[in-house]
Amino acid sequence: MSPLVYHYPNDKNTWGIKDQFFFGESLMICNVTEYQQRQKEIYLPEGIWYNFWTGKKVKATGKITIETPLDETPIFVKAGSILPIGPKVQFATELTKDPIEIVVYPGADGGICSLF
């Protein structure tokens, strides 16, 4: 986990953000920090982003307002990312017959982020 400023040191807008962070190189997590907050203003650095839950493409630089349902932490994926997503397991070495899904977010040269 790392703050946005580590990835965007030249973007002064990222310097003071304390409720958003990167998980790996590809996932930006936007914590909901207020009780019963159902909308949140977040900052998206320059580039193309995808809403992890809906797959909706967002091309924005700057602040946007998003819906924050009770059962979802807002997560955005950087364009060009490749995410291997496996089935839910109880422990890391648990065997499963379910396949691993490879999700590609087009739009840039990408890296890989492991979620398990």
pLDDT in tens, 21-34: 999 999 999 999 88
pTM over cut 0.95: no
Segments making up each domain of the chain, as ranges: 2-79
The H-or-E segment that residue 65 falls in is strand 62-67
Reading the block at residue 28, the tokens are 């930006």
pLDDT in tens, 72-112: 999 999 999 999 999 999 998 999 999 989 999 998 765 55
Reading the block at residue 59, the tokens are 């091309």
Q: Tokens 């496996």 label which residue?
A: 86
CA dist., res. 87 & res. 52, Å (int): 16
Closest CA to 24 of 1, 8, 44: 1
Determine the CATH number of domain 2-79. Answer: 2.60.40.1180
In the chain, the amino acid numbered 78 is K
